């Protein structure tokens, strides 16, 4: 009987905008993939190349996401767990064990083990981190076309100087996370201004 282990990781917990995306990967021992590493340690070109190799050679993979509205409603940790649950649910088999990058695990239909910096030590988690990162980056590039004032294609929603400046100049758009401090601050200041001018 085969014993299936999946690696699970996310991308997009920290940004001020856009969804959080998670991936789950069950590697195929018969098709080892060289070059797997924490997605943050790879270049965009390396990630894109490995993305294709993982898709073609993994025994199974799944991608899940939680939208901005869910992040604002349940908080980013719970939204991340939602995305992870959806990624594991998208696998073609129910794994026996899920290795989760980080120090906490979502509730899954299998045993879980949280591993701090697991994306640096567990190939399956590394593969999941690459799928999640590339999927989310592509999404943010697409959203940049819908919301061109903010530079999402460049900073992917993270709180860079340019992003914060655009946020101050134009205010939040539909994909900004209203529960995140810099975005919340905009609404607080807007309310104060309205009260002062009423």
- Non-local CB neighbours of 28 within 8 Å, separated by 6+ positions: 57, 58, 59
Q: What is the pTM of this model?
A: 0.93
Q: Which residues contact 159 (CB under 8 A, 6 or more apart)?
A: 14, 15, 16, 182
pLDDT value of position 186: 84
Q: Which domains does the chain have, with CATH numbers?
A: 5-146 (3.30.420.10)
pLDDT of residue 197: 72
Lowest-confidence range among 77-81, 117-121, 137-141, 183-187?
Answer: 183-187
pLDDT for the residue 198: 63
pLDDT single digits (tens) 3-39: 999 999 999 999 999 999 999 999 999 999 999 988 8
Closest by Cα among 188, 9, 187 to 98: 9
136-168 residue pLDDT tens:
999 999 999 999 999 999 999 999 999 999 999
Mean pLDDT over residues 98-103, rounded?
97
Average pLDDT, the chain: 95
Count the Cβ atoms, other than its own, within 10 Å of residue 18.
25
CA distance 73 to 84: 17
């Amino acid at each position: 009987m085969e014993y299936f282990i999946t690696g699970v990781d996310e991308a997009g917990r920290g940004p001020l905008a856009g969804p959080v995306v998670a991936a789950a990967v069950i590697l195929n021992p018969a098709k080892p993939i060289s070059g797997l590493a924490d997605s943050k340690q790879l270049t965009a070109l390396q990630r894109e190349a490995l993305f294709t190799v993982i898709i073609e050679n993994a025994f199974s993979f799944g991608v899940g996401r939680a939208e901005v509205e869910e992040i604002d409603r349940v908080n980013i940790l719970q939204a991340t767990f939602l995305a992870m649950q959806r990624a594991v649910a998208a696998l073609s088999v129910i794994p026996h064990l899920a290795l989760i990058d980080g120090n906490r695990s979502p509730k899954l239909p299998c045993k879980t083990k949280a591993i701090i910096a697991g994306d640096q030590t567990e190939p399956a988690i590394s593969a999941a981190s690459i799928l999640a990162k590339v999927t989310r980056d592509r999404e943010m590039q697409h959203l940049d076309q819908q919301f061109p004032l903010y530079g999402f294609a460049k900073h992917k929603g993270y709180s860079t100087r340019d992003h914060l400046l655009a946020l101050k100049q134009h205010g939040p758009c539909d994909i900004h996370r209203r529960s995140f401090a810099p975005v919340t601050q905009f609404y607080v200041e807007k309310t104060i201004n309205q009260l002062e001018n009423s």
